[in-house]
């Protein structure tokens, strides 16, 4: 094994750097879209919390609570507590961006209530993904250094769980946005350019999940090419 090759990996430049750039661009895109449409008020003066409540009630989910949470874009649905938590810029904000984000989180609550298969699958992968994220790289590097390929293979297998989680997450997020936009249309929560603005915000957010999936797949490909077989040189 050549130690110089161990420390300099051209595959990182070829595979990972472009994926990292794509991820950064996606993050910048969602920040830009949210910032832009956070300055566009809804014609009805509806806040993010009110929009989420309307979507929940339309789906018979009166038992799901909506709470305020600190931070920026920390919005999420907590299935254990059956609560949608909306951030400072969403909860009481009567803007197109706030309504879009809140509607998306309400879409997740609807998914859980309906037993949407991909979200159930994603939940089943959380434990494996957390375990793999902590141990995969240490196992790969340890196995590589001591020349024990089975340990490397176990590490790569654990890391593949992260890529699988990202793969399952993508349709979950796209479906939540689709559900949100459908109810926005049905109940006329937004109209015309407002709706197009909400779609742009949700599309920008979806691209961050696409970028995350691409990054995890490129990382997995790099590991397979770099460490996936014993090197006797």
Q: Which of 67, 105, 191, 193 is catalytic?
A: 105
SS3 76: strand
Spatial separation of the C-alpha atoms in residues 45 and 26, rounded to whole Å: 29
Question: Which of 87, 42, 75 is CA-nearest to residue 189?
Answer: 42
Kind of pairing, strands 65-68 and 76-78? unpaired
Q: Enumerate residues 6+ apart whose C-beta is below 8 A from 139.
A: 151, 152, 154, 155, 158
Query: What is the distance between the alpha carbons of residues 102 and 55, in angstroms, rounded to a whole number?
Result: 9
- Catalytic, 105? Answer yes
Which residues are the active-site residues? 105
């Amino acid at each position: 094994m050549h130690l110089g090759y161990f420390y300099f990996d051209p595959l990182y430049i070829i595979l990972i750097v472009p994926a990292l750039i794509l991820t950064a661009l996606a993050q910048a895109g969602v920040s830009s879209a949210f910032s832009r449409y956070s300055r566009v008020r809804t014609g009805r003066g509806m806040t993010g919390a009110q929009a989420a409540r309307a979507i929940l009630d339309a789906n018979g989910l009166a038992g799901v609570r909506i709470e305020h949470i600190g931070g920026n874009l920390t919005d999420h649905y907590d299935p254990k507590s059956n609560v949608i938590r909306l951030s400072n810029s969403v909860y009481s904000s009567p803007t197109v961006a706030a309504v879009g984000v809140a509607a998306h989180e309400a879409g997740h609550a609807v998914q859980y209530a309906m037993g949407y298969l991909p979200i159930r699958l994603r939940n089943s992968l959380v434990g494996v993904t957390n375990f793999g994220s902590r141990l995969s790289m240490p196992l790969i590097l340890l196995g590589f250094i001591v020349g024990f390929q089975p340990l490397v293979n176990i590490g790569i297998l654990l890391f593949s769980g992260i890529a699988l989680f990202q793969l399952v997450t993508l349709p979950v997020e796209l479906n939540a946005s689709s559900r949100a936009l459908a109810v926005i249309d049905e109940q006329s929560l937004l109209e015309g350019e407002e709706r197009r603005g909400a779609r742009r915000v949700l599309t920008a957010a979806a691209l961050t999940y696409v970028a995350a999936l691409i990054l995890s797949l490129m990382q997995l490909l790099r590991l397979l090419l770099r460490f996936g077989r014993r090197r006797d040189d």
